[in-house]
Structure 1
Amino acid sequence: MEGFRLGGRYSLTTRIASGGMGDVWEATDDVLARTVAVKVMRATTDEEPVFAQRFRDEALYTANLSHPNVATVYDYGEEDSLAYLVMELVPGEPLSALVQRRGALPAHEVRSIMGQAALALGAAHEAGVVHRDVKPGNIMVTPGGEVKLTDFGIARAVDGSGQTRTGEVLGTPHYLSPEQALGEPATGASDLYALGVVAHEMLTGRRPFEKNTPVATALSQVNDPPPPLPDDVPSELRALIEQCLAKAPAARPESARELGERLGLPEAGCLDDRAAEDVLGYAAEDAGDVERDVDADVARESLAARSSDPQVRADGALADPTPTPTHSGPRHARPRRRRVHWAWVPASGVALVLALTSFGLVR
């Protein structure tokens, strides 16, 4: 399709990725004179209506998300029964390629990537969207270390609307949560489990759950504990990853936003000031109209004060709910966010619904 023009304005130049539903091309927007990424649906005979609807869903879900760690959607269109999605072209590489090239990553880098991805998931969950396919291939990392979560192609609204058919299991077995493997619906807690698997892989350079077949891998997610992390992983980071990998969804972090904010708190020997500012800076981004006038120096002072304050509990939260101001200039109060609780109903007597045919659509 190189040289093909979609919508009368997007000229495809180079194919940069392939997925389960389509290919991603670098393209030129001839109207706005900028380079973009265009995801083009791969035409099939049997799955075309379902894939086209998933493209529309991805456009709808992602277009309503405004967060620095979510790849921006610019446009959606259909031409000659071919659906396409126009997105921000993110410089850098997928986390999967980064881990393959470098192997195990240092803890401070893992913490930053995991924290930014958690904040992106927090924005999606608070908008009522569960990603359902969190994996290294869907996490882009720029040369400067910024994370962009991509590919909401099989995302599902929290209210249950989506394009999953009866008996169909979507997702990638290596990152599939136990409840999804047991046929339960995915929730925000399922995304956190997948993020825990990703973090484990970043620290070790290999997938924690990998068997000979997709079904065996999914069964391992249900029954097996993850391999131990390296001894040099800082205790707080280790505890957060282990919490994400809890088999019971209710035992995982309370919300993705909470996890991202906890990962933004400095820990001796784990996170430098710059990385902490990055993660906490993204946590401060809000879809509302909260004004922010705290500069980087004040943010650094605030981080140092929190890490040395005896009123800070071990989990990073303030024992005194009224913190002492860090400077005398004007501040705008940030409204307390209602935390998102992700409930889980145990699957009583539910058989494992992972027939091999179910993974025919797994990317």
Structure 2
Amino acid sequence: MLSPGVQLGNRYRLDERIASGGMGDVWRGTDQVLGRTVAVKSLLPALLDEPGFAERFRGEARTMATINHPGVVDVYDFGNDQHIAFLIMEYVEGDPLSATLSRVGRLTPARTMALVAQAADALHAAHVKGIVHRDVKPGNLLVRPNGTLVLTDFGIARSELVGQLTAAGSVLGTASYISPEQATGQVATPASDVYALGVVAYQCLAGRRPFEGDNPLDIAMRHVRETPRPLPSDIPPQVCALVERAMAKDPKDRWQSAAVLAGAARQLKAALSRQARGGAGQAAPISAAPASPAPGRAAPISAAPASPAPGRAQVPPRAAPLVSPAAPVAPHRPATAPPPNRPPVAQPLNRPPVAQPPRPTVVAPAAAGYPRGAATVPSAYSPQPTSSRNAPKRSRSGMVFLVIVLGVLVVVCSGVVSYKLRNSLNVMPGGVSVSAVTSEALRPDGRDDPAGTAYRRLDQLRPDGDETITSEGR
């Protein structure tokens, strides 16, 4: 019986048991030679009694040690001591995904797609080396504090004893993620790992496993015969389609490889992240596989937006007009100076200006690269300098008539003014002003009465104003 302080291979000291499963226990230990912390996977003693298990386990351990991928746990050593087979692996600081799901229940679609992409990349690295995991489940997916994922426990489920342990109820968790072909006794393939990873994604999104039962055998048969319950309605349709294809009953209907599944999940995760930042619309469908699916099967969903054809310029979206079309504003026309060396043209009198209809302001679309709201320069109309050809034409005869009328008015006005002045000053012909007229007889109003007198005197002032001339007589 293993306990803290026990040494295996006279080198690895067991410090603390951190996990247990149907195949054995996982301990945190110390490599006393190199002085580093390691993870020690101890297998059940009964497995060593199976013929050929030790050789097969040794061969798979060597193959796993050749996998160089950040998502695959490193294998340092293996051995057999005290009738206990053990595997020395990298110690990963982090929690198993099963502990996270027990704590939070569900993960967001974007977080789930990120984890599925990392796990599928790790599976593909193992599949390239000819290794099938056979036991993909949340307990074997370790998540570091920085969010990266490491897949552990490769290649230990090939033993024929696993079927007996499953029937005895020792691997309840494994039965919940087993593929239909494994449940019916067929050989596990890379497509079996894709199915198991699809079940893990289902549990992350729904907060429950797709099938539940009273015993592992009942659960395994549900994977073969029944269809899982639909995912919650708040899961995007593209995510549901990805999980449904991974969990197809027929291996040929699943994603063609773990690498194709990783690409689909990664593109969908990027689309969901863009949607979360933009806050509008649904995630675009993603193109998951470079090869098309088999005829009659669901086509892969695509998440990457279609890019424009090479060499074709993209037309920026039309900006909203800055001026309301219901109330057009006449553009500002700069004042133009008259052409040089040309006499000014006289304007007609009392001629009202002709009103010009306002020109609507046309706002050009905003150029790409400028900030939204920047003022735009009208391009449909540019003011032109006023040309003398547009000035109203005036006839020469009209100008002559206008000059004659003005001359006649001046003559008439001067005659009227002269007449008024002569009457007001009583100027007599010859330039002599009349100052006083007296006679012997007067009229009732006090004036002279020439008809009633035989005598009259007239005093006149000379033009030089020095003396007067007096004349007497009738």
TM-score by length of 1: 0.69
Distance in 2 between residues matched to 1:46 and 1:39, nearest whole Å: 14
**Could you tell me which residue of structure 2 aligns to residue 262 of structure 1?**
264
1:96 positional shift: 1.1
**Could you tell me which residue of structure 1 aligns to residue 318 of structure 2?**
none
Distance in 2 between residues matched to 1:219 and 1:45, nearest whole Å: 26
SS where residue 254 of structure 1 aligns?
A: coil
Could you say what the CA RMSD is over the residues aligned between the two structures, in angstroms?
Answer: 3.0
**Could you tell me which residue of structure 2 aligns to residue 144 of structure 1?**
146
1:150 positional shift: 0.8
| Counterpart residue type for residue 90 of structure 1 | V
Give ranges in structure 1 of 5+ residues lacking alignment.
Answer: 157-162, 274-305, 308-312, 325-363
**Could you tell me which residue of structure 1 aligns to residue 88 of structure 2?**
86
The answer to whether the 8 A contact 1:59-1:73 is kept is yes
| Counterpart residue type for residue 160 of structure 2 | T
1:131 positional shift: 1.0
Task: Identify which of 124, 149, 160 aligns with 1:164.
Answer: 160
1:315 positional shift: 2.7
The answer to whether the 8 A contact 1:169-1:180 is kept is no
147 and 3 in structure 1: CA distance in 2 versus 1, 3 angstrom threshold: same
**Could you tell me which residue of structure 2 aligns to residue 40 of structure 1?**
42
314 and 131 in structure 1: CA distance in 2 versus 1, 3 angstrom threshold: closer
Task: Identify which of 73, 76, 96 aligns with 2:98.
Answer: 96
Distance in 1 between residues matched to 2:270 and 2:41, nearest whole Å: 42
**Could you tell me which residue of structure 1 aligns to residue 5 of structure 2?**
3
| Counterpart residue type for residue 198 of structure 1 | V
Distance in 2 between residues matched to 1:199 and 1:83, nearest whole Å: 32
Distance in 1 between residues matched to 2:37 and 2:180, nearest whole Å: 40
Distance in 1 between residues matched to 2:31 and 2:203, nearest whole Å: 37
| Counterpart residue type for residue 75 of structure 1 | D
1:155 positional shift: 5.0
Distance in 1 between residues matched to 2:230 and 2:212, nearest whole Å: 15
Distance in 2 between residues matched to 1:323 and 1:16, nearest whole Å: 55
The answer to whether the 8 A contact 1:234-1:270 is kept is no
314 and 88 in structure 1: CA distance in 2 versus 1, 3 angstrom threshold: same
Alignment of 1:1-363 (within 5 A): 1-44=3-46, 47=49, 52-53=54-55, 55-155=57-157, 163-164=159-160, 172-266=174-268, 270-271=272-273, 315=302
Larger radius of gyration between Structure 1 and Structure 2: 2
Percent identity reads 49
SS where residue 79 of structure 2 aligns?
A: strand
The answer to whether the 8 A contact 1:132-1:155 is kept is yes
SS where residue 76 of structure 2 aligns?
A: strand
1:135 positional shift: 0.9
Distance in 2 between residues matched to 1:270 and 1:317, nearest whole Å: 11
The answer to whether the 8 A contact 1:55-1:85 is kept is no
Distance in 1 between residues matched to 2:163 and 2:79, nearest whole Å: 30
SS where residue 39 of structure 2 aligns?
A: strand
| Counterpart residue type for residue 20 of structure 2 | S
Distance in 2 between residues matched to 1:31 and 1:169, nearest whole Å: 36
78 and 45 in structure 1: CA distance in 2 versus 1, 3 angstrom threshold: closer
1:199 positional shift: 0.5
Q: Deviations over 1:63-111 (max 9, x none)?
A: 1221111111111122233221111111111111111111011111111
| Counterpart residue type for residue 92 of structure 1 | G
**Could you tell me which residue of structure 1 aligns to residue 356 of structure 2?**
none
1:43 positional shift: 2.6
The answer to whether the 8 A contact 2:268-2:303 is kept is no
SS where residue 122 of structure 2 aligns?
A: helix
49 and 188 in structure 1: CA distance in 2 versus 1, 3 angstrom threshold: same
| Counterpart residue type for residue 154 of structure 1 | I
Distance in 2 between residues matched to 1:218 and 1:45, nearest whole Å: 23
45 and 106 in structure 1: CA distance in 2 versus 1, 3 angstrom threshold: closer
1:232 positional shift: 1.9
**Could you tell me which residue of structure 2 aligns to residue 336 of structure 1?**
none
77 and 46 in structure 1: CA distance in 2 versus 1, 3 angstrom threshold: closer
SS where residue 71 of structure 2 aligns?
A: coil
Give ranges in structure 2 of 5+ residues lacking alignment.
Answer: 276-285, 288-299, 312-474
Distance in 2 between residues matched to 1:323 and 1:151, nearest whole Å: 47
Q: Deviations over 1:141-195 (max 9, x none)?
A: 1111111111124355xxxxxx437976977221111112222211111111111
SS where residue 62 of structure 1 aligns?
A: helix
Distance in 1 between residues matched to 2:196 and 2:38, nearest whole Å: 28
| Counterpart residue type for residue 71 of structure 2 | N
1:261 positional shift: 1.4
The answer to whether the 8 A contact 2:180-2:249 is kept is yes
Distance in 1 between residues matched to 2:310 and 2:28, nearest whole Å: 48
224 and 314 in structure 1: CA distance in 2 versus 1, 3 angstrom threshold: closer
The answer to whether the 8 A contact 1:77-1:83 is kept is yes
The answer to whether the 8 A contact 1:10-1:29 is kept is yes
The answer to whether the 8 A contact 2:142-2:149 is kept is yes
- Give the count of matched residue pairs: 280
| Counterpart residue type for residue 237 of structure 1 | V
The answer to whether the 8 A contact 2:48-2:85 is kept is no
The answer to whether the 8 A contact 1:118-1:257 is kept is yes
